Amino acid sequence: MPQSDLFKSMVVKASLKQEVYSRTMEAFNLFKSETHRLVDDFHTQLKETKWPVPVEYKDKGTFEFELRFGGDVLIFFMHSNVFEFSRDHELMKTSYIKEDPHRSYCGIIHIFNFLADSFKYNRTNDVGYMIGRIFVNRENHYFIEGKREIGLLYNNFASAKLNIKKIDSIIQSSIRYTLNFDLLTPPYDNMKEVTVEEMQTVLEAMQTRTGKRLGFRFQADKIDIHGG
């Protein structure tokens, strides 16, 4: 490849990734503002309830914010890099991407669910669960991989474009899924024996690993994406 063509390729790829990054950042900031607004609305409605429910929004910086409600925490995290779907991914077979391969480059916003007590008591061995991830391309089209309420509703990449209404729906679906995803006890046979060292560790440091599916490590959905 001649040097001039190489330089042009560098400029095109860099410009594409900057455009995708900017679009994803715009979307992430809308997620922040809509979550904050939703928390304010909850506070207004919760004034009338007998048992107050803690609901809190925390901005953790450019790429992260938290939504805490009851005993749960949702962490929204935007990756700083741009990714492309693997050639084997179903989206790569669609006419939308075949018409313009650059549409397959996306920023990603992850949604994780943790127990609030994991942070309150600094239980660093506790596990969380990725309940969804949102892919955003330079045309503001989006695609979601996720669990039940989240993943089933937002998967038409060719026509789905992010806006305030859809972002609000995604946030509420994430909350609804979390509320229906209850803490389960571990199998009795997995817990009936404990060593002295393990018990001392629990008592001294409260580091028994806890999660909504205690005793089972969560495995993220398998998808090959290339970072950039």
Instruction: Read off the pLDDT band of 201 (50, 70, 90).
Output: low
Q: Is the pLDDT of residue 188 over 60?
A: no
**Tell me, what's the pLDDT at 186?**
54
Please state the domain extents for the chain: 3-227
Q: How far apart are CA 55 and CA 46, in angstroms?
A: 9
**Tell me, what's the pLDDT at 183?**
53
Q: Which residue type, as a one-letter code, is found at position 62? A: T
Q: How far apart are CA 70 and CA 111, in angstroms?
A: 17
DSSP string covering 112-145, please? EEEEHHHHHTT-TT---EEEEEEEE-TTSBEEEE
Q: Is the pLDDT of residue 78 over 90?
A: yes
Mean pLDDT of 57-65: 96
Return the exposure string of 115-134: e unless at least 16 CB atoms fall within 10 Å of the residue's CB, then b.
Answer: bbebeeeebeebbbbbbbbb
User: pTM for this one?
Assistant: 0.80
**Tell me, what's the pLDDT at 148?**
65
Four-residue CA torsion sign, 86, 91, 95, 97: negative
Q: Is the pLDDT of residue 131 over 80?
A: yes
- How does the average pLDDT of the chain come out, rounded? 81
Do 225 and 86 touch, CB atoms closer than 8 A? Answer: yes
Q: How far apart are CA 157 and CA 161, in angstroms?
A: 8
Residue 110 DSSP one-character state: E
